[in-house]
Every structure is written in C-alpha cells, then in structure tokens.
Amino acid sequence: MSVSELNENVLSPQDVRKILDSDNMEIVKLCKKAEIVPRKTEEGKTYFSLDDVRALKSAKDASGSSLSKNASQLVVDSLLKSLSKMETNITESISNVLNERLEGMDEVVVELIHCKTENENLRNQIEDLNKENYALRKEIASFRPVMLGLYVKDEVKKSLF
C-alpha cells in the first residue's frame, strides 16, 4: 500500500513540511517533543496521520512562540553588540590613524616656519651683499690706469642708492 492508497487522513512528509512550514530537521525535533513516531508503509515510505500533524502543529505553536521570541531577541541583542563593537573599533582605529598623521603635520608646520624665517634672513643678506657689491664695483670703477700698472683714484660720485 502506498501513502495515497491508505486514505484521506494520511499525509506524506512533503505535505507535513508544507503544513508546518518546516524543514525535516525541525519536524524530527517536533516528533521527539510530541513523542510521535512516524509510521511507514510496506514500501518503507514515511507517512503521518491527521492527529499526528495536529499534535506536531500544537507542539510547534507551543515551542515556536516562546523560543522564537527569545531566539529573535538574542539574535537582535547579539547583532546590536556586534555593531557597537565594530563602531567602537572603527572609531578608535580612525582616531589613531588621524592622530599619527597629525603628529607628523605639527613637525612639518614647525619646520616650515623655521624655513620661512631662514629664507627671509637669507633674502636680507642677499640684499645687503648686492648693495655692498654695487658699492665695491663703483669704487673699482673710480680707479683709472695711468701707466705701467699704476692707477689713480678719481673722486667717487655719490648715487641715490
């Protein structure tokens, strides 16, 4: 006798899965909880009676409501904790990276200020040396050759510089 030949009060495992909206492992757990042993045909196929399915459904409703709420709350709490830890880790790592980069920037800014000061000092020295060079060239230009490597100094003309 096959499952379909028994009668209308007999359901196949596929029908039970659809009715309970469960997988095989959950049906096995519910059978243990409701103390139901699935029956088998002469061909070795498993089937359930309507009473068995009703008992499985009531066992699922009884355990599903309390366990699913607790399990879902645990999952939500676990996710919230994980997200909080990830947020903390990301914030700390970004803060550490920024602090390391900014420490280097402080040294660069201080060095830049020193370089700017030194650059100004060197520009002033160049300006002073250019004035001195101009004055010395003017001084040299005031010497006029006389003969045999002798030079006579003329009067140095004053300039506006």
Under the banding of pLDDT at 50, 70 and 90, the label for residue 71 is confident
pLDDT at 66: 55
Q: Phi and psi (nearest 5°) for 7? A: -175, -175
CA angle 142, 147, 150 (to 5 degrees): 55
Q: Is 103 helix (H, G, I), strand (E, B) or coil?
A: helix
Whether pLDDT at 81 is above 60 = yes
Number of domains in the chain: 1
| Residue 144: inside a domain | no
Q: Which domain holds residue 105?
A: 3-129
| Residue 136: inside a domain | no
| pTM of the entire predicted model | 0.36
Q: 118-143: per-residue pLDDT in tens?
A: 999 999 999 999 999 999 998 888 88
| Residue 149: inside a domain | no
| Residue 68: inside a domain | yes
| Residue 153: inside a domain | no
Whether pLDDT at 7 is above 60 = no
| Residue 158: inside a domain | no
Tokens of 134: 């101009």
The CATH number for 50's domain is 1.10.1660.10
pLDDT at 132: 95
| Residue 157: inside a domain | no
Q: Report the alpha-carbon distance of residue 93 to residue 53 in Å, rounded.
A: 55
Residues 47/10, Cβ–Cβ less than 8 Å: yes
